[in-house]
Chains A and B, each alone.
Chain A
Amino acid sequence: QQQVKQSPQSLIVQKGGISIINCAYENTAFDYFPWYQQFPGKGPALLIAIRPDVSEKKEGRFTISFNKSAKQFSLHIMDSQPGDSATYFCAASDNYGQNFVFGPGTRLSVLP
């Protein structure tokens, strides 16, 4: 129940295309859902985050879609660029911070 499932494991997208990464959770106590971007040799960087009171949050080319009833959330990268090639981690946390769980990660490659 503490896990966050993430798919796909790897993703190849052409430049200009849309990259979509999906995550699912079971713990209904989770109420904070961030996404992290990690480049090789670097620490993960907080990219965008959402709370369950909204169904969508957009920041530039990055959008989180959240489906509370299905317990799923996804990251959409519009107009994907080669510079977006990185590993993306979704995560979930509860209000009391007792659980902060990361998904296994998705390696995104954007072809020029």
Chain B
Amino acid sequence: KAGVTQTPRYLIKTRGQQVTLSCSPISGHRSVSWYQQTPGQGLQFLFEYFSETQRNKGNFPGRFSGRQFSNSRSEMNVSTLELGDSALYLCASSFLAGGSKFFGPGTRLTVL
């Protein structure tokens, strides 16, 4: 089975721009979670989707949004980028909501 894939792997944007990151879960997995990881920091939970519905949301500003499609693929969007948004954005999929999570390789976002 193919693992979780994330595109793009690397991204460079400037302040004020917006960005969309994509995640394809493991085949058959219906839950997708997004995390932000900054250098030396842990995994900061952004949101979780299950069957196209947002189940949980972390403590991030409204500039961070996401959605899930009927094929379980998910996208997250960050609008009006700030320097502090530079991070590794990780997507994780699971068969059930809250079940064992399997992470993708992440998208490294750099905001200049």
Contact = CB atoms under 8 A, between A and B. Distances in A.
B75 to A, nearest CB: 17
B2 to A, nearest CB: 14
Interface string A28-43: 0000101010000111
Contacts of A100: 33, 45, 48, 98, 101
Given A43-B105, A96-B98, A97-B98, A102 B42 contact: yes
Contacts of B43: 44, 89, 102, 105
Given A42-B105, A43-B90, A44-B90, A97 B42 contact: no
B97 interface: yes
Contacts of A93: 98-99
Interface bin, chain B: 20 to 34
A49 B100 contact: yes
Contact of B42 (A41, A96, A103): A103
A46 B100 contact: yes
Contact of B103 (A45, A95, A98): A45
Contacts, number: 51
Interface in A57-112: 89, 93-100, 102-105
B64 interface: no
A94 B101 CA distance: 13
B101 A97 contact: no
B96 interface: yes
B101 A46 contact: yes
Interface string B70-112: 0000000000000000000010100011111111111010000
Interface of B: 4, 31, 33, 42-43, 45, 48, 55-56, 90, 92, 96-106, 108
